[in-house]
């Protein structure tokens, strides 16, 4: 496999300005959250496996793994939106030129932003319902805490799509 020269890379990789200051800190924080969530996803089942040998375990480890999986998926989507790497359903944009291409991009971004706004409102309503319900994960952790993280990541994605 030959190395990719700079001239053959897609323009989205070569035109990005370096990120500095507080934006860099936020980017690194997002990436750290993904890494920590993935580490927890990996470590929890392994720790559970070892503790079962001693007739012990982690209460609710499967619920934690499920919630970390959800968080990783949502953060992955936010990072993809940040980097402009969201998948599209159509390749029509590659065939369009000029103003038509710009108009199609504005339209598709508007639809994506509207859908994200609706999902944000729905997740906020769901969060309030769950908070009132008082459901708990293991170790008396309220379920709405995890759902709050998911709602915040959804809001982050909405702002990036706008």
Q: Which pTM does this prediction carry? A: 0.66
The whole-angstrom separation of Cα 109 and Cα 107 is 5
DSSP line for 58-72: -TTHHHHHHHHHHHH
**Among 106, 146, 96, CA closest to 123:** 146
102, pLDDT greater than 50: yes
Reported as a single tens digit per residue, the pLDDT across 104-140 is: 888 887 887 888 788 778 877 888 888 888 888 888 8
């Amino acid at each position: 496999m030959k190395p990719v020269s700079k001239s053959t890379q897609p323009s989205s990789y070569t035109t990005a300005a370096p990120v500095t200051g507080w934006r860099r800190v936020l980017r690194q924080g997002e990436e750290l959250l993904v890494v920590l969530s993935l580490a927890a996803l990996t470590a929890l089942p392994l720790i559970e496996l070892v503790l079962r040998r001693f007739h012990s375990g982690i209460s609710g480890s499967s619920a934690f793994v499920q919630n970390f999986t959800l968080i990783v998926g949502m953060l992955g989507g936010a990072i993809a939106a940040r980097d402009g790497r969201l998948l599209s359903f159509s390749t029509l944009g590659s065939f369009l030129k000029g103003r038509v291409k710009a108009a199609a991009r504005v339209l598709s971004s508007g639809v994506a932003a509207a859908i994200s706004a609706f999902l944000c409102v729905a997740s906020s309503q769901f969060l309030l319902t769950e908070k009132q319900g008082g459901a708990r994960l293991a170790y008396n952790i309220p379920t709405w805490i995890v759902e709050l993280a998911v709602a915040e990541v959804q809001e982050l994605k909405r702002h990036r799509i706008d």
